């Protein structure tokens, strides 16, 4: 049976009970209860503003604060009882407050709407969530950077178009993904700045008619700024959309890395072995060791994309200010947070425990990957690069025609393609010399990779301050 108007924050206008199916359809307490702490923090700040505006007495304020503290303790201990009439976290907390302190509880909502209350709760919750995700991402990046430093001397094939391209350092590959994740962290800090704007005091749409000190609210809740326009403050969810897009892009970076690691861990590559702690087996085939951790990291990206796209579709047709459609914001926000929180931690575990097979990695290098080096050899002899590229291509074709590795072509063979080839061409066929020539910033030479490691270490230290 639906509940009487006395348990609702909006019941006075209505006669009779809400349909039971509608009651359940309308409720959000099943998921928005996780904002209980943010809701209480917002209410504690708001009652202080009410007291300053002389809308509650000091005694009433203290009674409300004590009641809210008790409610917080009940949530913390898991003893808070959600009742059938608790439509959302705001209703639940206010209902419980009335049970504890009676009449003064009815003054807490003076001049406040659920429209500005819920968006305040969301901003407080997301601000904390962003701090947690930042810590998760920094732990992963630190793990990757230190692994890159420790294994800087390991060479293996770099790939483009899934074809062997050029020799690179294993550390260079690691850092390519660490750099992408560092951009994610930087972007997340920018989003946090825009999240950290106070909407409380905006009312439902027009603002508040009472002398509510919004600057006091800002300081109490540690917001950086105050919303400029009450209609925008209660109706916009740009900060949620930004967070969902951030989660989508970060998931893309993690999925891309997971895909590479999956390939490298197959028997066909055998470049690395995943820890048993991050692998599973087959219910039928005893020999199987499946990279389920990486497969799930990859698959979760699709889940996050769906949340982002779905919420954008909700937003695109809405009229101005608050509409109940915006209730869809919280599940998307919570789910993307939960997903990234788990994925970042699992990825850190994978990267900290996998074992590389250095001999296999370096054995996978092949002379044809030095074809570009052969062209550079000719460039250093004075030949224009476009012409040198063509000459090197002819050498590759000759080696393929003779069914031999590129470095097995004789000096006489190469001389038929260009007279610039001399006995010093033998220096080209050295993989370590090859990677060492890429010493410009950002390259795969040891000095360059070491500089990247140092740059990221300094960046991590700066963020830790």
Spell out the residues 6+ positions from residue 7 whose beta carbon is closer than 8 angstroms to its own.
83, 85, 86, 91, 95
The span from the CA of 97 to the CA of 155, in Å, is 64
The span from the CA of 131 to the CA of 9, in Å, is 32
The span from the CA of 362 to the CA of 432, in Å, is 10
The span from the CA of 125 to the CA of 40, in Å, is 11
- Which residue, among 114, 137, 127, has the nearest Cα to 183 in the 3D structure? 137
The answer to whether 425 touches 414, Cβ cutoff 8 Å, is yes
The span from the CA of 458 to the CA of 258, in Å, is 26
Token pair 């609210």: residue = 217
**What does the DSSP 8-state code read for residue 271?**
S
Tokens of 150: 């420790």
The span from the CA of 98 to the CA of 47, in Å, is 14
Could you please report the per-residue DSSP string of 128-144? HHHHHHHHHHHHHHHHH
Report angle CA 87, 55, 34 to the nearest 5 degrees.
30
The span from the CA of 137 to the CA of 133, in Å, is 6
Residue 459's alpha-carbon distances to 178, 179, 308, 396, in angstroms, are 12, 11, 29, 43
The span from the CA of 339 to the CA of 142, in Å, is 21
Half-sphere exposure in the Cβ direction for 3 (13 Å, CA): 18
Instruction: Give the residue numbers annotated as catalytic, written as ranges.
Output: 161, 282
| H/E segment holding residue 272 | strand 272-273
The answer to whether 131 touches 222, Cβ cutoff 8 Å, is no
- Which residue, among 82, 32, 78, 148, has the nearest Cα to 450 in the 3D structure? 148
Torsion of the alpha carbons at 388, 393, 395 and 399, rounded to the nearest 10: 160
Report angle CA 153, 155, 159 to the nearest 5 degrees.
145
Question: Alpha-carbon Rg of the chain, whole angstroms?
Answer: 31
């Amino acid at each position: 049976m639906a509940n009487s108007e006395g348990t609702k924050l909006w019941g006075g206008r209505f006669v009779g009970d809400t349909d039971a199916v509608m009651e359940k359809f309308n409720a959000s307490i099943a998921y928005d209860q996780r904002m209980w702490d943010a809701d209480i923090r917002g209410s504690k700040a708001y009652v202080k503003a009410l007291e300053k505006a002389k809308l509650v007495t000091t005694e009433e304020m203290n009674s409300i604060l004590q009641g809210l503290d008790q409610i917080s303790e009940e949530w913390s201990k898991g003893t808070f009882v959600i009742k059938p009439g608790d439509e959302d976290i705001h209703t639940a907390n206010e209902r419980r407050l009335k049970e504890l302190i009676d009449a003064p509880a009815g003054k807490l909502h003076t001049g406040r709407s659920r429209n500005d209350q819920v968006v305040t709760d969301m901003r407080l919750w997301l601000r904390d969530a962003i701090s947690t995700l930042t810590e998760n991402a920094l732990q992963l990046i630190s793990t990757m950077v230190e692994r890159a430093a420790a294994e800087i001397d390991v060479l293996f094939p770099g790939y483009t178009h899934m074809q062997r391209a050029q020799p690179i350092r294993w550390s260079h590959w690691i850092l390519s993904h660490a750099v992408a994740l560092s951009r994610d962290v930087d972007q997340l800090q920018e989003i946090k700045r825009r999240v950290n704007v106070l909407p409380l005091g905006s009312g439902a749409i027009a603002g508040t008619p009472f002398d509510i000190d919004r600057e006091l609210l800002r300081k109490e809740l540690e917001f950086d700024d105050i919303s400029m326009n009450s209609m925008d403050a209660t109706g916009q969810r740009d900060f949620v959309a930004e967070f969902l897009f951030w989660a989508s892009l970060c998931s893309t970076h993690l999925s891309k890395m997971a895909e590479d690691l999956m390939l490298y861990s197959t028997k066909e590559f055998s470049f690395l072995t995943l820890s048993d702690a991050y692998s599973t087996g087959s219910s039928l085939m005893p020999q199987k060791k499946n990279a389920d951790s990486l497969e799930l990291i990859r698959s979760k990206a699709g889940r996050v994309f769906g949340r982002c796209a779905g919420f954008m579709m909700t937003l695109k047709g809405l009229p101005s200010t608050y509409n109940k459609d915006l209730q869809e914001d919280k599940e998307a926000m919570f789910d993307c947070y939960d997903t990234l929180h788990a994925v970042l931690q699992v990825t850190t575990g994978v990267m900290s425990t996998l074992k590389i097979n250095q001999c296999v990695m370096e054995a996978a290098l092949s002379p044809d990957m030095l074809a570009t080096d052969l062209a550079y050899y000719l460039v250093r002899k004075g030949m224009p690069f476009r012409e040198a590229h063509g000459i090197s291509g002819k050498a590759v074709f000759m080696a393929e025609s003779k069914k031999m590795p590129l470095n097995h072509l004789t000096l006489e063979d190469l001389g038929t393609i260009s007279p610039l080839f001399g006995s010093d061409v033998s220096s080209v066929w050295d993989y370590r010399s090859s990677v060492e020539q890429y010493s410009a910033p950002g390259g795969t030479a040891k000095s360059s990779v070491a500089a990247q490691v140092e740059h990221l270490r300094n960046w991590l230290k700066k963020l830790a301050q």
